[in-house]
Structure 1
Amino acid sequence: MTQPTKGLTAPHPFGQKINQQQLTETFNQCRQWEDRYRQLILLAKKLPALSDNLKQQDIEISGCENRVWLGYQLMPNGYLHFYGDSEGRIVKGLLAVILTAVEGKTPKQVSETNLLALFHQLGLEQQLSGSRLNGVKSLIHTVQNAAKHYTKD
């Protein structure tokens, strides 16, 4: 299980300047897979690269086509901060979709978020290869475990 990395913050616009409603509106305008693919690449460009010192083995996710890192930390205000990166543009765009849905939420809110439904709503789930979908599920699993780690009964 990925452990929180204390004292590290890798700011990004997802969940704040780029929210889930904007993402849905943008992807709903896409008529073909190529348009969605292009949007994923644009999202990837907006996700700042993690510095090498943040690309630690303990936050590297297995089960993805490309190397991908996803870390998190509980902020003093009780909200989760997620940060990540990938060597692949599409995977990085898929990661950005996830960050948009979970960034700045409480662990309880994150645990109640159906991320796979978001990918379906955006028209992405049905277009992903089996191995890429498995990678997305690995990312979702990491997010859900982070929320579970901090959820109090």
Structure 2
Amino acid sequence: MASPAFEEIAETFDFLDDWEDRYRHVIELGKAMPPLDDSFKVPALKVQGCASQVWLRPMVEDGKFDFQGDSDAMIVRGLIAILHALYSGVPVAEVGKIDATAELGRLGLNEHLSSQRSNGLRAMVQRIRDEAASRA
């Protein structure tokens, strides 16, 4: 089962009738996310494989995974916020066990993102998994 924060997003998506409303909600999630300090927008934290610029700053506290992220594209900021809801607070050793494809599929993202955005989303998920695995 996903985190309560992710479940709340999934419930909101179930409530919204069409993809345009869901798309706007993703953008709102991105706007609500705190920006990443510019000092962390460095090549080492940049996610390769994204059409937009994306930075993820992984952190582990008390054995739980967390990260900060940012992008120059509002929809991508929203996707980062969704991934944050999915992974934040998860024990580091459990991050790799989350089936991100299935969880994100519940939101209908697979059918509505462009192939470039889908590839970027997969790159972000892989980066999160790799970062957690290196810290486990």
TM-score w.r.t. length of structure 2? 0.93
1:99 aligned onto 2:93: no
1:130 aligned onto 2:83: no
1:4 paired residue number:
none
Q: 2:105 aligns with which of 117, 120, 124?
A: 120
TM-score w.r.t. length of structure 1? 0.83
Amino acid at match of 2:20: E
Match runs of 1:4-43 below 5 Å? 19-43=5-29
Distance in 2 between residues matched to 1:142 and 1:122, nearest whole Å? 21
Check conservation: 1:36, 1:124, Cα contact below 8 A.
no
Distance in 2 between residues matched to 1:78 and 1:62, nearest whole Å? 26
Aligned-residue offset at 1:150: 2.3
1:88 paired residue number:
73
Aligned-residue offset at 1:48: 1.0
Aligned residues: CA RMSD: 1.3
| Greater fraction helix | 2
Distance in 1 between residues matched to 2:120 and 2:135, nearest whole Å? 23
Distance in 2 between residues matched to 1:116 and 1:63, nearest whole Å? 17
Distance in 1 between residues matched to 2:26 and 2:50, nearest whole Å? 16
Distance in 2 between residues matched to 1:116 and 1:88, nearest whole Å? 22
Amino acid at match of 1:91: V
Q: % of aligned pairs identical?
A: 32
Q: Matched residue pairs, number?
A: 134
Aligned-residue offset at 1:78: 0.9
